Amino acid sequence: MTDPVNRQILLVEKPSGKLGPEHFKLNTSTIPEPKHGEALLRVRYISLDAANRAWMHGATYRAAVEPNSVMAGGGIAEVVASKAPNLAPGDIVFGDTGWQEYAAVPAKLLTKMPRIEPMTHLLSVYGIAGLTAYFGLLEIGKPKAGETVVVSAAAGSVGSIVGQIAKIRDCHVVGIAGGKDKCHWLTSELGFDAAVDYKDGAVFKQLKAVAPKGIDVYFDNVGGDILEACLPQMNNYGRIACCGAISQYDGAPAAHGPRGVPGLIVVKRLIMQGFIVMDFMKQRDKALADLQGWVASGKLKVQEDVIDGLENTPAALIGLLAGENRGKRMIKV
Amino acid sequence: MTDPVNRQILLVEKPSGKLGPEHFKLNTSTIPEPKHGEALLRVRYISLDAANRAWMHGATYRAAVEPNSVMAGGGIAEVVASKAPNLAPGDIVFGDTGWQEYAAVPAKLLTKMPRIEPMTHLLSVYGIAGLTAYFGLLEIGKPKAGETVVVSAAAGSVGSIVGQIAKIRDCHVVGIAGGKDKCHWLTSELGFDAAVDYKDGAVFKQLKAVAPKGIDVYFDNVGGDILEACLPQMNNYGRIACCGAISQYDGAPAAHGPRGVPGLIVVKRLIMQGFIVMDFMKQRDKALADLQGWVASGKLKVQEDVIDGLENTPAALIGLLAGENRGKRMIKV
How far B278 CA sits from the closest chain A CA (Å)? 11
Measured CA angle at B245 (ends B240, B249), to 5 deg:
170
Q: Is A56 exposed, middle or buried (0-12, 13-18, 19+ CB in 10 A)?
A: buried
For residue A23, the 8-state DSSP code is G
Q: Does residue A15 have a cis peptide bond before it, meaning omega lies within 30 degrees of 0? A: no
Chain A residues touching B256 at Cβ < 8 A: 256-259
The one-letter code for the residue type at A205 is: K
pLDDT in tens, A283-308: 989 999 999 999 999 999 999 999 99
B-interface mutation test, from A266, A270, A271, most B Cβ less than 10 A away: A266
Express each pLDDT in A87-99 by its tens digit.
Answer: 999 999 999 999 9
Q: How far apart (Å, rounded) are the C-alpha atoms in residues A183 and A195?
A: 5
**Cα-atom radius of gyration of chain A, to the nearest Å?**
20
Q: Is A262 left (phi over 0), alpha (psi -120 to 50) or beta?
A: alpha
How close does chain A come to B235, measured CA to CA in Å? 12
Residue B227: its chain A contacts at CB < 8 A?
A: 262
**Which residue in chain A has the smallest CA separation from B140?**
A271
Would you call A242 and B227 a contact, using CB atoms and an 8 Å cutoff?
A: no
Whether B130 contacts B161, CB under 8 Å: yes
> How close does chain B come to A12, measured CA to CA in Å?
25
Do B63 and B54 form a contact (C-beta atoms < 8 A)?
no
Instruction: With beta carbons less than 8 A apart as the criterion, state whether B19 and B53 touch.
Output: yes
**Model ipTM value:** 0.89
Mapping DSSP onto H, E and C, the string for B69-138 reads: EECCCEEEEEEEEECCCCCCCCCEEEEECCCECEEEEEHHHCEEECCCCCHHHHCCCCCHHHHHHHHHHH
Which residue among B242, B256, B267 places its CB closest to the CB of A274? B267
pLDDT tens digits for range B201-237 = 899 999 999 999 999 999 999 999 999 999 999 999 9
Mean pLDDT on A150-170? 96
**What's the mean pLDDT when you consider all of chain B?**
92
Closest-CA distance of chain A to residue B80, Å:
34
Q: Which residues of B touch A222 (CB under 8 A)?
A: none
Residues 45-104 of chain B whose Cβ lies under 8 A from any Cβ of chain A: 54, 60-61
pLDDT at position A66 is 87
Residues of chain A in contact with residue B264, where contact means CB-CB under 8 angstroms, are 274
Average pLDDT over residues A268-294: 90
Give the integer Cα–Cα distance in Å for B131 and B48. Answer: 16
Nearest by Cα to B333 from B22, B86, B76, B14:
B76
Of the candidates B263, B269, B274, which has its C-beta nearest A245's C-beta?
B263
Condensed to tens digits (0 to 9), the pLDDT of residues A113-146 reads 999 999 999 999 999 999 999 999 999 999 999 9
Nearest CA in chain A to B61: A267
Identity of the residue in B61, B254, B255 whose CB atom sits nearest the CB atom of A267 = B61
For range A259-287, the mean pLDDT = 87
Tell me the pLDDT band of B3, cut-offs 50, 70 and 90. low
Q: Are A19 and A321 in contact (CB under 8 A)?
A: yes
Q: Kindly tell me if the per-residue pLDDT of B243 is higher than 60.
A: yes
Q: Which amino acid is present at B202? A: A
Q: What is the mean pLDDT of residues B129-133?
A: 95
- Chain B contact for A258 (CB, 8 A cutoff): yes
A63 confidence band (pLDDT: 50, 70, 90): confident
Task: Name the residue facing B274 among A257, A270, A275 (closest C-beta).
Answer: A270
Least confident piece of the model among A252-261, A281-290, A309-318, B82-91: A252-261
What is the pLDDT confidence band of residue B2, given thresholds at 50, 70 and 90? low
Q: Please classify residue A298 by burial: count the beta carbons closer than 10 Å to its beta carbon, then call 0-12 exposed, 13-18 middle and 19+ buried.
A: exposed
Residue in B245, B256, B274 closest to A257 by CB: B256
- Asked if residue B88 has pLDDT above 60, the reply is yes
How many Å apart are CA A14 and CA B179, to the nearest integer?
Answer: 42
Cβ neighbours for B4, distance < 8 A, ≥ 6 positions apart: B31
Q: What is the mean pLDDT of residues A10-26?
A: 92
List the single residue in B257, B273, B275 with the smallest CB-CB distance to A261: B257
State the Cα–Cα distance between residues A174 and A191, nearest whole angstrom: 10
Please judge whether A266 and B276 are an interchain contact, meaning their C-beta atoms are less than 8 angstroms apart: yes
Question: Is B266's Cβ below 8 Å from some Cβ in A?
Answer: yes
In Å, how far is B266's CA from the nearest CA of chain A? 4
pLDDT at A249: 81
What's the confidence (pLDDT) of residue A3?
A: 64
A95/A105 Cα distance (integer angstroms): 8
Each residue's pLDDT tens digit, B20-33: 999 999 999 999 99
Task: Give A255's contacts in chain B (Cβ within 8 Å).
Answer: 259
Model-level pTM? 0.92
Of A60, A242, A269, the CB nearest to B262: A242
pLDDT in tens, B279-330: 898 998 999 999 999 999 999 999 999 999 999 999 999 999 888 999 999 9
Percentage of residues in chain A having pLDDT higher than 90: 79
Give me the mean pLDDT over the A166-178 stretch. Answer: 97
| Residue A274 contacts B, CB cutoff 8 Å | yes
Q: How many other C-beta atoms can be found within 10 angstroms of the C-beta atom of residue A311?
A: 12
SS3 (DSSP) at B63:
coil
Instruction: Say what the pLDDT of residue A2 is.
Output: 59
Q: How high is the pLDDT of residue B143? A: 98
Q: How confident is the model at residue B278 (pLDDT cuts 50, 70, 90)?
A: confident
